[in-house]
Amino acid sequence: MNRFLQRWTVFGGIVACWQLFAWLGDNPFFPPPSQILTAAWEWWVLEPSNVTDHILPSVGRLLTGWLVAAGIGISLGLLLGRSDTAMQYAGPLLTFLRSIPPPALVPVFLLLFKTGTSMQLATIVFGVLWPILLNSVDGARSVDVTKLDTSLVFQIPRAQWVLGVVLPAASPKIFAGLRVSLSLSLVLMVISELVGTDSGIGSQLMVAQREFDYTRMWAGIVLLGAIGYGLNTALLAVERRALAWQPRSLDDQHA
């Protein structure tokens, strides 16, 4: 509880300093937090249509792309992680593909899927797949040899072995990849909405920037931060519940 209060005290101090310096500097590019919160309230709360037309579609694309990437990444990662031969052949290809910046493929996805949800989902899935896949591979490779030998002695069916032995052993690293990919999916969601669409938080940021409405632009940035914080908090809660069998450090117990 004390650590929680300390974190938010530091955050509150930073916001107070920003408010003071913005008031003294009177710079239109950096409005004070009070004006940003007022604009956010007027834009996202007092106009419910903005929630249904922009916020919910953006969050829906983000979660859909992330979940699709999670399904592909975990399944393929466990498969490749337990096969040295498969990794020898797939390793160079994976290294090549993950080296490509996802925003660089936006023109390619525009040609393949045109504008719309399909292009945006393709951008998100391709970009967030790699942290999940590589962490799943690493986790599958870290299975204790004793557990492997025991499963062979008892002739455990392969499906049961994967779900009951490999997946739990790889779960900590899988969740680490999921956390990284969740933050990345928020970034790619905004990038995908900057091109060829008039709905979503990213498109509204561009509209505010073009209209020189910097207060509303900052309100959109704050909204993205709040969404990211909320999603990360929810994922951490799921992770703690799923990995409750693992011993926790003192820092985790007091977090």
Q: How many CA atoms lie within 13 A of 218 on its CB side?
A: 15
**Residue 219 belongs to a domain:** yes
**Residue 134 belongs to a domain:** yes
In this prediction, residue 109 carries a pLDDT of: 87
Domain of 195 in residue numbering reads as: 56-243
Q: Residue for token digits 């799923």?
A: 242
Number of structural domains found in the chain: 1
CB-based contacts of 227: which residues, under 8 Å, 6+ apart?
59, 62, 186
> With bands split at pLDDT 50, 70 and 90, how would you rate the model's confidence at 86?
confident
Distance from C-alpha of 95 to C-alpha of 86, rounded to nearest angstrom: 14
Q: Which long-range contacts (CB under 8 A, 24 or more apart) does 235-243 make?
A: 235/175, 235/178, 235/179, 235/182, 236/179, 239/175, 239/178, 239/179, 242/171, 242/175, 243/171, 243/172, 243/175
> With bands split at pLDDT 50, 70 and 90, how would you rate the model's confidence at 105?
confident
**Residue 3 belongs to a domain:** no
Torsion of CA 170, 173, 179, 184, to 10 degrees: -110
Q: Are 184 and 131 in contact (CB under 8 A)?
A: yes
Query: What are the φ/ψ torsions at residue 149 (nearest 5 degrees)?
Result: -65, -40
**Residue 11 belongs to a domain:** no
pLDDT tens digits, one per residue of 16-63: 888 888 888 778 888 888 888 988 888 888 888 888 888 899 999 999
> Residues of the chain with pLDDT > 90: what percent?
29
In this prediction, residue 1 carries a pLDDT of: 60
In this prediction, residue 141 carries a pLDDT of: 84
In this prediction, residue 153 carries a pLDDT of: 64
Q: Does residue 157 sit in helix, strand or coil? A: coil
CATH classification of the domain holding 232: 1.10.3720.10
Its pTM stands at: 0.84
pLDDT tens digits, one per residue of 181-231: 999 999 999 998 887 677 888 888 888 888 888 899 999 999 999 999 999
In this prediction, residue 125 carries a pLDDT of: 94
**Residue 145 belongs to a domain:** yes
**Residue 198 belongs to a domain:** yes
pLDDT at 250 over 60: no
**Residue 19 belongs to a domain:** no
Token digits of residue 56: 């919910």
**Residue 50 belongs to a domain:** no
